[in-house]
Chain A
Amino acid sequence: MTTAPDHSPTMAQASLWGRLEPWIPVLLIPALIVFGFLAIPATSSWLTLTVSGLAMGMMIFIMASGLTLVFGLMDVINFGHGAFVSVGAFVGISILLGLGSLTGAPSLMLNLLAVLLAVIGAMLATGVMGWAFERIIVKPVYGAHLKQILVTMGGLIIVEQLILVVWGPDEIFLTRPETLKGAITFAGAAIEKYRLLAVGVGLVLFLAMRWVLRSTKIGLIVRAGVQNGEMVEALGYRLRLVFIGVFVAGSALAGLGGVMWGLYQEVITAHMGANMMVLVFIVVIIGGLGSVEGCFIGALLVGLLQNYIAFLEPKLALISNIGLMVAILMWRPQGMMPVVKAK
């Protein structure tokens, strides 16, 4: 009889790289900001660009977060998501234009109240629309990706055309509320007030969403549903109801994003949602389908990169996001933080 071979467990700490690796996506943002600092000669323009990149990223995140959750939860890919962005913008801006007395007043409180009313109106409209969209367009084609893509694309076309019917074919120009116009100067850099507001709203929303997903029961069910829907249903939860709720919330967030993007651009068109979808898809893909954190990081990366490159080499700005997507997919083919396993 031989003695058992020696085996003494080794208690080595994971290597620095091993510990660092999960955090790489997060570290990419400061890395990109530092890259911008080195590449852009003047510090003041770097600061301006960084703030506007963050603002843009936050707005893209607001639009993209609903899409990624809807996909994660029910494996539904909604190409019509852009329709909610457009409708949100048109409803919200119409309310703002109607509240001329509030937006024209030089008081910050009144201005914010007007924006708040517009946002609530837009979110209500797109929320209801999302519910109807889910019922009419998406519900009959569960489980069939090909049909989903085709049908939601058809839905997008219909909604865009209906916007043209209701609001007319011309683009609508608008001005921001009185106290949100102009810029403040900080360390020699001109920073538009509205962009600061956008960054604030986006950050609050991200933290709130994280809190809901991590610390509430409903968030637990949503996250569990993303990971393994059948198991959650087997435990007795009606995932369909949760899903409709997420779909409606995602649509309402897209509407919010639409209002904010409209105020940012100061012009709205029926096609703005479809145009934004290009960036939204890039963000959703590089973030990893189903991941809110990945979506947030992806959105900030896209926003920052777009602004830096547009300053350094305007012609490259368009391709820069595609390049970013290619680079990230080469590194992590499932996106930075994939939640949904490849099906």
Chain B
Amino acid sequence: MINKNNQVLSFAALTGIALLGASAMAQAATLDEVKDRGQVRCGVSDGLAGFSSPDSKGKWQGIDVEVCKAVAAAVLDDQNKVAFAPLTAKERFTALQSGEVDVLSRNTTWTASRDNSMGLNFAGVNFYDGQGFLVKKSLGVSSARELDGASICVNSGTTTELNLADYFRAQDMQYKAVAFDEMSQTAQGFDSGRCDALTSDSSQLAALRLQLKEPDSAVILPERISKEPLGPVVAQGDDQWFDVVKWTLFAMLDAEELGVTSSNVDDMRDNPPNPNVARLLGKDGNYGEQMGLSNAWAYNIIKQVGNYGEVYDRTVGKDSPLDIPRGINALWNNGGIQYAPPIR
């Protein structure tokens, strides 16, 4: 979801990035810098439920935050050695370019223009998001295709609004848009019955649903009408660091696929049930050293942070108030599209 006003405001910043991207790209050996510093500097969102938000004790929580912790565990053997920098949507890429943060883990959609023209590298996808619909149960609708003629609450001036128009045109259906300026107003409009359905990114729908007067009276429809792959980003020009962040993510996915969790990782390391686990946990081969890390890198991630499934359930999934179903974020062999290359 990109606000048009924000786009105009950030035009100056983008121009600056384009001009100075070349010089900023020259940074190298981030891994050594991070090791010397003893801290990973990680850019996160300034508040998005389930992704990164400060809890009542002022500690950062969320699935994006866990990526930072995993990188710290892999590189510095300690998940707590992270300096979180809350960044606004406008600041985020400059912070990465200027070297203010080492990695940006801030619900950032992977798009061609961002990847190709801004001196950035997307290190993977930690959450496949997409635009969806929230409807009242009383409407009796079970699919977005049944929304013909419905009135739909939407944030005005966002790509969400454009996606909505595209989808209904493609499906040859009619709808009436009820536009609001702010997400909270949109949610209130839906709550007070101004519209039949509300559309936004599915991760936000879960949070919005919880804020309704009666959360159980609304349901999220299964269709996703846009692709919003969210993932950690690093600055272009330092392949070693890019690999470290990329494989941190892969290790968490591989661990889930191999059944390695934070509670059984010690047993698994002592008695690896198969060669894949032995390689993942550093009992076999030197896959950590090839990246410039210790061979216990993946062990540290899983022991301290957990595998992808554990992190998902804890932050946005079934053990969190948001309770977003795994859906396409399930592993490839479990009906989803999360797939990591093997460690060997």
Q: Do A and B come from one complex?
A: no
Binding site for A on B (CB under 8 A): none
